[in-house]
Structure 1
């Protein structure tokens, strides 16, 4: 019996975001280990504001203590860099990538089970986001912290 849907939900979300690949974007599992100054990233299970990969809460689903309902929040991070000095383009690119995340977890022709993260959860949705903008030594960055919220029965 599974203790939590978190590991399977993260693995399924990564699979959905990696296939097919998104042009010129690295999709990472957990914290980046290389220099991320000059690449567009989508990171699942990490946020630059802290190392929290996911949250979850569980409650019994009914009397009898046979199954539990679990609410999961998977942390994600989108990072876009540019050697330019204006934020308009990097901000637009960050939201374009967030739109790609959202579109890929919706039921579509090529992936009708995406809202369940291919069966890992009962449903998933993009639920929270935060925009960050900064100047770096090599240019400017726009980043979006986001949460994919899920509901599972274990």
Structure 2
């Protein structure tokens, strides 16, 4: 019996995003960056700049008898768009387009009815918050820290 759904949740998020056709050409990264990527658009799962926390969970007994537990969790994620120009509007729009793709990938559809359950890893999941950062380094860049919340039964 698993003590937490976090490993399965992160794995399922990675699997879903890597299989999303709209994210072709976007680097989907497991955890913090370890190398310089050539892709100018990236989505990190289990990482957000400025925070060492990849996930947060709270658990409680699901019912009398203490056989099952509910786990409410938050997975830190980060979307990033960079360019060699100074067009901040373009980068900001790109990063919000990435978030929209993630949100749509987690919605149930006729093609992917199990997406909100992260293909059975949880009872439900959703994108719940976001925080935009912008900067000019060697070109415009926009980043969006966001959280995927879930409830699992373990």
Fold conserved between structures, TM > 0.5: yes
Q: Is the contact between residue 128 and residue 148 of structure 2 (CA under 8 Å) also seen in structure 1?
A: yes
The size of the alignment, in residue pairs, is: 153
For the aligned residue pairs, the C-alpha RMSD in angstroms reads: 1.2
> CA contact under 8 A between 1:37 and 1:81: conserved in structure 2?
no
Kept after mapping to 1: 8 A contact 2:54/2:75: yes
Give the distance between the partners of 1:57 and 1:133, measured in 2 at CA.
32
TM-score normalized with structure 1 length:
0.95
**Using the alignment, how far apart are the partners of 1:95 and 1:88 within structure 2?**
11
Aligned equivalents of 2:42 and 2:51: distance in 1? 17
- The Cα offsets for residues 52-72 of structure 1, whole Å up to 9 and x where unpaired, read as 111000011112111111001
- Which structure 1 segments of 5+ residues have no match? none
Gap runs ≥5 in structure 2? none
> Given that residues 56 and 73 in structure 2 are in contact (C-alpha distance below 8 angstroms), is that contact kept between their aligned partners in structure 1?
yes
TM (norm. structure 2) is: 0.95
Deviation of 1:38 (Å): 5.8
